[in-house]
Chains A and B, each alone.
Chain A
Amino acid sequence: MDPQIPTSKGPRWSVTINHHSYVWDESWDPASLALRKQQALIHKIVDASVWGLFVIGVVAWLIPLIVHVTSGGFFALFSLQMVLWNVLVPSVTGVILTATGLVGCFFFYRLVSRLQIHLTIPCRNQDLSEPLPEVQGYGGGSTRSITPLFDGAAQKAIQDAYELAVRFGHAQVEPIHLLIGTLSAQSVSVLFARLGLVFETIKDILQRRLASRLPGTPTIFSSETEQILLRAFVSAYGQDRQRISVVEIFAECYRADSFWRELLYDVSIDETKLLNVVEWMRIIEKMRERHEQFQQSALLKPTGPMNRAMTSVSTPILDSFANDLTLEAVRGSLPMLIGREQEMEDMLRMIEGGQQSVLLVGPDGVGKTALVAGLAQRMVEERVPNLLQDKRLISLSLPFLVSGAAPAQVQDRLIQILGEVAQAGNIILVLEDLEHLQEAQGGFELSSLLVDFLSRGLTFAIATTQPRAYVSTLESSAFSRVFQTLMMEEPDHTQAIHILESKMPFLEYEQDVIFTYEAVAKAVELTDRYLHESFLPQKAIEVCQEAALVVRRKQGKGAFVTGEEIAAIVAGKTGIPLTQVATQEKDILLHLEEEMHKRVIGQNEAVSAVASALRRARAELRSTTRPIATFLFLGPTGVGKTELAKTIAATYFGSEKQMLRFDMSEYQEKSSVDRLIGTPGNREGGLLTEAVRRQPFAIVLLDELEKAHPDIVNLFLQVFEDGRLTDTAGRTIDFTNTIIVATSNAGTAYIQDAIAAGESLEQIKTHLLQDQLRAIYRPEFLNRCDGVIVFRPLQKEEIYEIAKLMIAQVTARLEPKGIGFRAEDAALDALVEKGFDPQFGARPLRRVIQEEVENAIAQALLEGQAKRRDTIVLEAGGTIRIESAPVL
């Protein structure tokens, strides 16, 4: 179709690019469709006929030739007679030859003219930050049709959409038809697989939606559909693609159709998720295109030490300590750089502008090496400033350089290497972890040598280092004179997801597994949230590698890696339960209070506040930038404050060992802060920070906080608010997976008096906050606590229950010896009578049980009165009786 001819029906929408109006103007009606199908068949038949004629012609010409050669020998082929026979002397063979030539030309025309695209998507050469053109109402004038710009799969999707609408007798081809049309395309099937979406789950809803469309004939394309197709064209233009793919149509349908958005939202696919998967498909496609272009460019790049201008010399010493990155790039062994365009532009500008060396400063794993590899690839393609063209990028291994040699020898090596670099003149040095040079023996001399060499402008270098090493070693050294610093930050979530998506083809190929989008997103999200010692994207890539290996081993080839597998790997590394709440765990969470009351008697308000906080945390409803919960437990001694903390450790964190207990009475001096977060200048860290760093998923119990120095209480203000604390070594310690419980005896006398006076707990708490605690804690501290929980003194009935628990503990301790134990009710009453003291809670009871029960049992055991299978019975009056087991 000639794009310049205006359509008869007239388009409704258009997009203007470079003063040309692009429209969707294909006529779609049963007759046109049938005609197009017939036309396609005719094309095939004519092409096949022409090709057949050409083959017959060639064979007919070859047969006499072969006969001639076999009878007259190979050299007869070149004989004058042969030439004359075919060309000069009129003959049947001559007719066949010339006719076959004509048919060949005709076939070439048919083949190439069809492949040759008369119209391509215009190149987007302008500034990429310029906004994309809008779809607007068509205002007349000459147009270009976008129809031929859709690739084969996209054209089929549009046709399927139309046929679907016709089959159902619908008046218009609407976005829903277009969407269903795209579903049979392979790329959309892959997209569904990545999203973990099974078509069957949405099939019924789609059918209902289809059934509700307006009937009518003839079926025409709706205005929305026309706009979607134009937007798909704009999207392809924005990405500098040559064709409009079916994925673009799918993405635009999603953007335009609220029903489709709702439907996917219902199956847990939100906009970010879908657009990131669409981007994944684009990234893979772009990588393929770039790889093809790169291979062509790589043919021109020399693979030896000699450059194309032949100005360089061989560099044997340098080669023995270095890696040729440009050579590795030519061989295709370097990963393709995705993202980091800004950093690459900055680096090239620094090199070109100041002709100065560049120091990339960033934590391990953020992509410094990947950026250098990206530069090597651009150097192979010669997509670099003149200064870098026809050059080699050589990575000098500093550990190799300094190892196994005395400082003088290392200096000698470096002098020789720099001499070779200067003489070759085509080498750009890469120095990874530059601080190694400064920190090596004789580092000052080595650094001076390098600085002197670089400052003379003989070449320049690209070095990398970590922020800590930069501050401590390099910033104040002579290197700062010759290196311009380029800070590399950790990529944000979306960028990290895109980088991870670009790694997936290799990972999937290696392990023969398939990653869902959920797995990729979880890898980024969970590693960012829970693994603070390493950085994105490297840590996410490592987790994905592990998950792929595990899935391959457990489920075999072709299995899907889902978010659950990623969560399991991260949970294994951190000890934090991250997988979805299982049914059994759900029951425990729902009945947490009952579970906790098995250990903590009474204190209903405290138990229910804690249980609610734990449920919020496990259901992922809590804030992720603060600790799971922060509590201040107030009350007299022996009422169960510490016991409740232990119970939390056991029920939520899995074991009582998951409790980090700090007796704050040991931190009464101002200097005690150093013990908690580390001494300045010492890299060991403090007691608190190290404990949490090693055990990030735990309960932190701050016993008797009121006794700590006020500066220490202030320190916890930051932890309560931000969920993190920086130790003196500069590490940020994450407290967001801890529950912090501070206990305090402050206001005990008041609580006891108020309870005795019959005041409610709420009244007591209000009075404590407004009056009693003011002198001890600053209001902002109290304000940051999720709950200030008052433990009331224990009643006699509660002490009775606690006595039963303690007796049960004694029974449990005797069980391994094969001896049973029970206390008679009267004995229990007597114990409670003796052990009850409203002032000291359950502590006197523990003493009474120790003195009266455990001592008596110990004596009986030592005297040999109780044997295996016997039962010890505690009777009223504190005496014990042995019930002998029946003789066997």
Chain B
Amino acid sequence: MPAIVTFPLAVVREGIQSFFGFPLWWYTRGVVLVAERLKQFWIFSARMTGVSVWMRNLFVPMFGDVSIAGRIISFFLRLIMVMWKIFLLGLWALCLIALFLFYLVLPFICLLGLFYHLSGIFSV
């Protein structure tokens, strides 16, 4: 067959093959990749908040105030700050998990939605 026929066919074949490879990649390598990126993002966020630094220094007085009152205030302030940071990180983790779940269900939602809308239009 001449190239003018075979080439478009090859393009179509590639498109179709790729389309069938897509769900497989999405739920295997794609899942791993997205999970890994989201995890890295969360770790970077945790480093940005410095929660581990604050936990390590829980009993170290803030602003160099080594008086007893200073130590007590510092301990409680650090405790509150650590809890707040953990809370924020937890919330952020939930957001990222939601994003991950969204990644998992997105093709399904789109596919189901497409069927729903198409069937709705044609049944009317």
Contacts and interface: CB of A to CB of B under 8 A. Distances in A.
Interface stretch (A105-113, A455-463, A608-616, A846-854): A105-113
Contact of B33 (A105, A116, A312): A116
A96 B10 CA distance: 27
B48 A299 contact: yes
Given A94-B113, A110-B18, A38 B10 contact: yes
B14 A312 contact: no
A311 interface: yes
Contacts of B109: 98, 101
Interface in A555-610: none
Interface in A75-127: 87, 89-92, 94-95, 97-99, 101-102, 105-106, 109-110, 112-113, 116
B63 A91 contact: no
B120 A90 contact: yes
Interface in B40-69: 47-48, 50, 53-54, 56-57, 60-64
A246 B9 CA distance: 36
B53 A308 contact: yes
B66 to A, nearest CB: 9
Contacts of B80: none
A390 B114 contact: no
Query: Interface residues of A toward B: which range?
Result: 35 or more
Contacts of A313: 63-64
A619 interface: no
A49 B110 CA distance: 20
B3 to A, nearest CB: 9
Given A90-B124, A109-B26, A113-B25, A423 B64 contact: yes
B54 A309 contact: yes
Contact of B121 (A87, A91, A116): A91
Interface residues of B, number: 40
Contacts of A97: 113
A474 B41 CA distance: 50
Nearest to A109: B22
Main secondary structure of the interface of A (DSSP, over half): helix
B113 A49 contact: no
A424 B62 CA distance: 10
A778 interface: no
A643 B119 CA distance: 115
A105 B18 contact: no
Contact of A105 (B15, B47, B106): B106
Interface string B89-109: 000000000000000001101
B39 interface: no
A98 B124 CA distance: 19
Given A105-B106, A308-B50, A311-B64, A99 B116 contact: no
A425 B66 CA distance: 12
Interface string A27-50: 000000000001000110110011
Nearest to B62: A310
B30 A106 contact: no
B119 A90 contact: yes
A312 B64 contact: yes
Nearest to A99: B114
Nearest to B63: A313
Contact of A43 (B14, B57, B114, B124): B14
Nearest to B66: A423
B34 to A, nearest CB: 9
Contact of A113 (B7, B10, B29, B61): B29
A300 interface: yes
What are the 7 tightest A-B residue pairs by CB atom distance, in nearest-first order? A90-B120, A98-B113, A94-B117, A101-B110, A309-B57, A313-B64, A98-B114
Given A310-B63, A311-B63, 5 more contacts: A38-B10, A105-B26, A106-B22, A299-B48, A300-B47
17 contacts: A46-B11, A90-B117, A90-B118, A92-B117, A94-B116, A95-B114, A97-B113, A98-B111, A102-B111, A113-B29, A299-B48, A309-B50, A310-B54, A311-B57, A311-B62, A311-B64, A423-B64
